[in-house]
Chains A and B, each alone.
Chain A
């Protein structure tokens, strides 16, 4: 292992020295280290600023998430009502609302909010899962002694949710770092790794960009490692490293009118929250747009609709292609790992590193390597969708029961036949889980690439409108990208339900 790492480092050094990649876009490790040393005076304040935003957001986001999770686990009605808000928070491309947060709030607040939003969904779902999946037999013991829901929550369920929650905090830590950095992009304050990165983009200095990217990765990785260690110490058990992409169902048999009312409430609630937040903020109507104000804006004769459609025509196709490629590779590799389990062992560490590597740190590096053409968007989209999808599918395939695999084997089936008859059908729930996970990530990836690199599509429209102080457009793009993300998520869920029902399977987390 150590020898391989040294070899890889040596190879990298050689490639960097000879400037083999894109005319020096991949600098040698020594060059990065030298640059880092030269910049050493800058790093502490930037790292500290990002840590502050991420840390406060992490605390607030997870506190809210655990409380909300307990509420949703106890009350299916609340879970159903909040479904719309939960999906919106899961699917919202953080980069789209960063400019709005910068408009509406000041100082550290945008960073804290984006970091908190990055933590919320994963911890909330983990809390709900942990509580609802607490051992039914233990709950029976409490009930058999006349204990009610609160006794059960206090004595059994909260405690059994602890491993799940710790597992979620592990994933939330890098997400908080990413959220803080994305908010810094949107322009909040002079300090922070994101601000540093934006400020350094213009100077053709690959070594510094790599240094900042690696620093961000280390920061996120340390957050992950700290909670991984706590989790291992407290639970001494393993929790899946994948991210849940399903909000709590809260489905119970109830009359049609009630279900319809809950569904309508769940769709309307996010808009009500939006409206309420604007009213509460007291920001001037010129900056803070309510849903009605946006409709008015789109009615103005300023060709806003046309510009948006043009941007969509650029963003959507490449997002779809990116998702297809990323998931396709992931599926092929995950199936390959069934035939050759070594693949998982070789790829899992890489997958974990890239999961913790903030997307924004990756983007400028890929821009350096692949230039500013459309291909860089594809690379970014594939790289943000591939690894989580691979982890989800590979773990899912590993959970296929041994006995199910043994039956065709007993009849002399070849590995390929086993794959065709058992593994591929069994992987269906995980393919959909990966797809649900990939959709919002892909949109975030594409928009980030458009914003930072190619100057096309929705990401660019957002960035431009920021420059022109075109508040109506900023809001429109932000809302539109959230709606798009939620829409595609729901399309996936709709197809998933039908396919899995036909296969007699249940949804994977």
Chain B
């Protein structure tokens, strides 16, 4: 069963040389079980901070974060969450399949070889099971990271700009693939992204954030039916939503 994510009145600040920076100020957000939510905003709006709080890598100064009713750290220890980072963050000395198996090692579960093989096929890396990350292209490494994020059948999936380092063409291909993978699993997903088109194409709901202090500026629902096809990127409705989100990012 997919679980939901809930943030209520969450604040987090950092003390730096230039004084106190309010990375997040009074942020509340509900992500319903099974929903795909995209988080978008300018640099420094606190979206990475929000994600780190939701994953349990950081603790809020005020407010509450819960994943399926548990604290993020508890949820992580129970193996409810999966995560893919901005950078693939693969262990360079482990092969593709061993990298995908890493969450099993942390959670102290036996390696599920069938599941690993299935995911390798799903992300289109069959034949590269024994390859080391250094031998793969950037796009292939990112797909390994996504397979790793899915390997423990998470109820809640976090994706932190997983395609940020890819070129536009590869990015579109990965968007289509991610939608396919998501539709098969229907895991609750929170995607942090810089790309307006990517957010619209993938999400049910786009959360637009603003900086100084980091806060939620607007929430925009995306009405397109699924499965969405690559042609969608060229439609006038798509362009209108892009313009609306760009406007929200500019503070309208």
Contact = CB atoms under 8 A, between A and B. Distances in A.
Contact of B91 (A138, A143, A145): A138
B47 to A, nearest CB: 16
B106 A140 contact: no
B81 A144 contact: yes
B33 to A, nearest CB: 20
Given A137-B85, A137-B87, A137-B89, A144 B56 contact: yes
B83 interface: yes
B57 A146 contact: no
B107 interface: yes
A143 B53 CA distance: 12
Interface size range of chain A in the complex: 10 to 19
A151 B91 contact: no
Interface in B1-45: none
A389 to B, nearest CB: 33
B156 to A, nearest CB: 11
A145 B102 CA distance: 9
B91 A159 contact: yes
Contacts of A141: 83, 85, 89, 102, 148
A155 B106 CA distance: 8
A147 B93 contact: no
Q: Output the residue of A138, A146, A156 with the most chain B CB within 10 A.
A: A146
B92 to A, nearest CB: 8
Interface stretch (B70-78, B174-182, B228-236): B70-78
Given A135-B89, A151-B106, A159-B91, A144 B57 contact: yes
B14 to A, nearest CB: 14
Q: Which of B89, B106, B152 has the most CB of A within 10 A?
A: B106
Contact of B57 (A138, A140, A151, A155): A140
Q: Give the interface SS of chain B, mostly helix, strand, loop or mixed.
A: mixed
A308 interface: no
A233 to B, nearest CB: 14
Contacts of A156: 91
A74 interface: no
Contact of B89 (A140, A147, A151, A155): A140
A142 interface: yes
Nearest to B84: A141
A140 B85 contact: yes
A134 to B, nearest CB: 10
Chain B interface residue number, banded? 20 to 34
B68 interface: no
A142 B93 CA distance: 15
Interface string A228-255: 0000000000000000000000000000
A159 B102 CA distance: 14
B105 interface: yes
Contacts of B83: 141, 144-145
Interface string B174-205: 00000000000000000000000000000000
Nearest to A136: B89
B106 A142 contact: yes
B103 interface: yes
A506 to B, nearest CB: 14
B55 interface: yes
Contacts of A137: 85, 87, 89
A146 B76 contact: yes
Given A155-B105, A155-B106, A146 B77 contact: yes
Contacts of B91: 138, 155-156, 159
B79 interface: yes
Interface string A109-150: 000000000000000000000000001011011111111000
Contacts of A151: 105-106
Contacts of A155: 91, 102, 105-106
A138 B148 CA distance: 13
A143 B85 contact: no
Nearest to A143: B57
B78 to A, nearest CB: 7
A141 B73 CA distance: 13
Contacts of A144: 55-57, 76, 81, 83, 158
B106 A147 contact: yes
Nearest to A159: B93
Contacts of B56: 143-144, 146
A156 to B, nearest CB: 7
Contact of A146 (B78, B89, B90, B158): B78
A402 B228 CA distance: 45
Contacts of A146: 56, 73, 76-79, 106-107
Nearest to A235: B93
A145 B76 contact: yes
A140 B52 CA distance: 9
Interface in A16-41: none
Interface in B96-153: 102-103, 105-107, 148, 152
A140 B73 CA distance: 12
Instruction: Pick the 4 closest A-B CB pairs, nearest first.
Output: A146-B77, A146-B76, A137-B89, A147-B106
12 contacts: A137-B85, A138-B90, A141-B89, A142-B102, A144-B57, A145-B76, A145-B103, A145-B107, A146-B73, A146-B76, A146-B79, A151-B106
Given A144-B55, A146-B79, 8 more contacts: A135-B89, A137-B85, A141-B83, A141-B89, A144-B57, A145-B83, A155-B105, A156-B91
